[in-house]
């Protein structure tokens, strides 16, 4: 098992890629603290995986972030891995939200949330003697624009910009913390079947269009992304740092 004896925090653990990552990490021998703003989803996750620790929290609130990291350290006396999987799209903010409200909320969760969690995790890793791994969940939209065949953007959708910021945060942290033995990488999924995309993939025409945009001819699964996250978190990826790995069925290679 690649993560035997490692301790990990997974944010956004209540659904999608976060849940798949919790499952994969447990299979690989890790001890996991799962966190999510959705306490109901977190409780359901704990029922499915009784061995995990849980702590509800909003990644955009520094006090709650600190409490999540402190809970992991208190339980296991160290933190080895952070997976920043919490994220939202403009579609999740609300139909009545203004342009600025959508922009601010997406940036607050996707960028500020990833930064705050990473900042607290790095401090915990340093206090435990140094070394660790951070894996951010970005998106293929972090280095491409929304295709015009899809009705997702009027040119001001905050999601691509937020995930572009996550990619650059990953590179900057990867360079800065390499000498301390802390590796920072990111995955950049293409369109994946999760709760985040369900409100658009339920439309057969939109789903067909999305599938056609991927050379693989289909959307990905949360488990396929979690497999790559587990690799990046493991010692098998010991010389991978500051990288953003596309997990997109060839989408970004076109």
CATH of the domain at 115: 3.40.50.720
Q: How many domains does the chain have?
A: 1
Residue 23 inside a domain? The answer is yes
Read off φ and ψ for residue 108, nearest 5 degrees. Answer: -60, -45
Q: What is the pTM of this model?
A: 0.96
Read off φ and ψ for residue 95, nearest 5 degrees. Answer: -65, -30
Please check the confidence at residue 166 and state whether its pLDDT lies above 90: yes
pLDDT band at 143 (very low <50, low <70, confident <90, very high): very high
pLDDT band at 49 (very low <50, low <70, confident <90, very high): very high
Give me the chain's average pLDDT, please.
95
pLDDT band at 127 (very low <50, low <70, confident <90, very high): very high
Please check the confidence at residue 133 and state whether its pLDDT lies above 80: yes
Stronger pLDDT, 140 or 202, i.e. the higher one = 140
Residue 2 inside a domain? The answer is no
Stronger pLDDT, 96 or 222, i.e. the higher one = 222
pLDDT band at 250 (very low <50, low <70, confident <90, very high): very high
| pLDDT tens profile 223-249 | 999 999 999 999 999 999 999 999 999
Please check the confidence at residue 136 and state whether its pLDDT lies above 80: yes
159 is catalytic: yes
Residue 217 inside a domain? The answer is yes
- Identify the domain containing residue 156 by its residue range: 7-253
Residue 209 inside a domain? The answer is yes
User: What does the buried/exposed string (b/e) look like for 194-219 if buried means 16 or more CB atoms within 10 Å of the residue's CB?
Assistant: bebbeebbeeeebbeebeebbeeeeb
pLDDT at 94: 81
Which helix (H) or strand (E) segment is 127 a member of?
helix 113-127
| From 25, 103, 159, 245, the catalytic residue | 159
Please check the confidence at residue 37 and state whether its pLDDT lies above 80: yes
pLDDT band at 41 (very low <50, low <70, confident <90, very high): very high
User: What does the buried/exposed string (b/e) look like for 27-55 if buried means 16 or more CB atoms within 10 Å of the residue's CB?
Assistant: ebebbbbbbbbeeebbeebeeebeebbbb
170: helix, coil or strand?
helix
What average pLDDT score do residues 128-145 get? Answer: 95
What average pLDDT score do residues 112-120 get? Answer: 98
What average pLDDT score do residues 156-170 get? Answer: 97
The answer to whether 18 and 10 have CB atoms below 8 angstroms apart is yes
DSSP labels, 20-34 = HHHHHHHHTT-EEEE
CB atoms within 10 A of CB 129: 9
| pLDDT tens profile 75-100 | 999 999 999 999 999 888 887 899 99
């Amino acid at each position: 098992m690649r993560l035997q004896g490692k301790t990990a925090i997974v944010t956004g653990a209540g659904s999608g890629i976060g849940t798949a990552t919790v499952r994969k990490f447990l299979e690989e021998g890790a001890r996991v603290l799962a966190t999510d703003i959705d306490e109901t989803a977190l409780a359901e996750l704990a029922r499915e995986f009784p061995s995990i620790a849980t702590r509800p929290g909003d990644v955009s609130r520094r006090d709650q972030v600190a409490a999540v990291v402190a809970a992991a350290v208190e339980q296991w006396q160290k933190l080895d891995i952070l997976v920043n999987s919490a994220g939202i799209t403009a579609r999740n903010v609300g139909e009545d939200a203004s342009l600025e409200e959508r922009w601010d909320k997406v940036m607050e969760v996707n960028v500020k949330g990833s930064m705050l969690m990473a900042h607290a995790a790095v401090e915990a890793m340093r206090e435990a003697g140094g070394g660790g791994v951070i894996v951010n969940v970005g998106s293929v939209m972090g280095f491409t624009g929304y295709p015009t065949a899809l009705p997702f953007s009027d040119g001001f959708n905050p999601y691509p910009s937020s995930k572009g910021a996550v990619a650059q945060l990953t590179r900057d942290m990867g360079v800065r913390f390499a000498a301390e033995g802390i590796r920072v990488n990111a995955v950049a999924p293409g369109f994946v079947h999760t709760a985040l995309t369900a409100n658009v993939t339920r439309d057969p025409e939109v789903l067909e269009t999305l599938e056609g945009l991927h050379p693989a001819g289909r959307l990905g699964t949360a488990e396929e992304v979690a497999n790559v996250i587990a690799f990046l978190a493991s010692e098998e990826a010991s010389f991978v740092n500051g990288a953003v790995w596309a997990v997109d069925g060839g989408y970004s290679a076109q």
